[in-house]
Amino acid sequence: MIDYSRILSIFYTGKTWVLNGETYEGLDWLDSDPKPTKEELGSKWDEAQSIYNKEQCKDKAKQLLSLSDWSTLPDVQAQLLNYQDFVTYRSQLRNLVINPVENPVFPSEPEARWK
């Protein structure tokens, strides 16, 4: 099923519209520009899904980076036996932030081993 709200949110930012329900028929176009046709919106569905999935990838990678920020503190680095594992882990996550993909495989966070 096509998510018209997602398509409109991605491709028609700055336009004024209201979607009542989930169908094209529920789209009230309040903008001065012409209302996109059902076919126009439908043709953008695959691209909208791709963009959305990549945004989700990026958001989750940022969240995982944030949860591992503690591993970058200087006093922690000195006590962490597997510090390099965290460097690698965080590098892989940053790569997903910079180059998000539709179907990401997130790395597993290493288990901290202390001196």
CA-CA distance, 57 to 66, in Å (whole number)?
Answer: 14
Kindly report, residue by residue over 68-96, the tens digit of the pLDDT: 999 999 999 999 999 999 999 999 999 99
Is 59 part of a structural domain of the chain?
Answer: yes
C-alpha closest to that of 51 among 7, 86, 112: 7
Q: How many domains in the chain?
A: 2
Q: Which residues contact 114 (CB under 8 A, 6 or more apart)?
A: 79, 80, 81
Residue 15 is predicted with a pLDDT of: 98
C-alpha closest to that of 99 among 61, 67, 64: 61
Residues 54 and 93 in one domain: yes
Residues 89 and 52 in one domain: yes
Residues 53 and 35 in one domain: no
Is 109 part of a structural domain of the chain?
Answer: no
Q: Which domain holds residue 17?
A: 4-43
User: Number of helices (H) and strands (E), helices first, in the chain?
Assistant: 5, 2
Residue 71 has phi, psi (to 5 degrees) of: -70, -10
DSSP 8-state symbol, 24: G
Average pLDDT over residues 45-64: 98
51 pLDDT band, cuts 50/70/90, is: very high
Residue 47 is predicted with a pLDDT of: 98
Is 52 part of a structural domain of the chain?
Answer: yes
